Amino acid sequence: MNFFERLYDASITIGGHGITWREIIGNLFGLASAIGGMRRRVWAWPVGIIGNALLFTVFFALGFTAHGGQVMFGQAGRQVFFILTSIYGWWVWQGNKAGRRRDAPAVQPHWASMKQRLALGGFWVVAVIFVQWVTRMIGVGWTPPSWYYWADAWIFVGSIVATFAMARGWNEFWLAWIAVDLVGVPELLHFEYYPSAVLYAIYAAFVIWGFVVWLRVSRNSARGADRSEELVTS
């Protein structure tokens, strides 16, 4: 192999399993993006896109020496939709920054309306049913356990919902990520994508922290709005 092939497929062995550095670095970019998202910084989106691109090559088993393991279309496909929704989120947050001071957060956390929640929940349920059906029809090139299609569809659709909700500044996006991780971590452990599973588990704990931070900010903002309204009416 030439230098670029060796660099691309560089890996380490942990517990007898070959793990590409692309998987490790891609997940670290994802964690950095989550930290940026909690802090409501625009740079969270491009950093996340880099991580998504790296992880796509891992889950789609793209490698000169086939270190990618089993092809996981749901995990690979969601990286593509991550990139698309991240471009949308990047555009929305960048627009929010217009006219604000340079160090101002890009979005004000708040709860979605009941109508928005019902729309998101309805989309999640219908899309999971559709995605698992499509995946079964297409096949994955190997024989997965029966639960795989439902689990991968849940992760795939939930990731889209969470990323979209983050772009809108809805507190619910953290809850969506928790729902995704509850399925995603066991699935990744089962298929021996250990770096991703470990980082997803760490990310799950971080998601709970991020939810508390955003919830506190949204509550403080609501109290501030109530005080302003009292001053106006008094």
Number of Cβ within a 10 Å radius of residue 224: 10
Owning domain of residue 83: 3-233
Question: pLDDT, tens digit, for every residue of 59-99?
Answer: 776 544 444 455 666 667 778 888 988 898 898 888 877 76
Tokens of 8: 């691309």
Query: Angle at the Cα of 150 (from 203 to 35), degrees rounded to 5?
Result: 15
**Which stretch of 7-16, 113-122, 150-159 has the lowest confidence by average pLDDT?**
7-16
H/E element, 231: helix 194-233
Q: Provide the residue count of the chain.
A: 234
Distance (Å, whole) CA 233 – CA 216: 26
Q: Which of 74, 55, 59, 58 is nearest to 151 (CA)?
A: 74
Query: Rounded to whole angstroms, what are the CA distances from 230 to 111, 134, 226, 233?
Result: 22, 54, 6, 5
pLDDT of residue 201: 84
Q: For residue 39, how many C-alpha atoms fall within 13 Å in the half-sphere facing its CB?
A: 13
pTM: 0.71
- Structural domains of the chain, count: 1
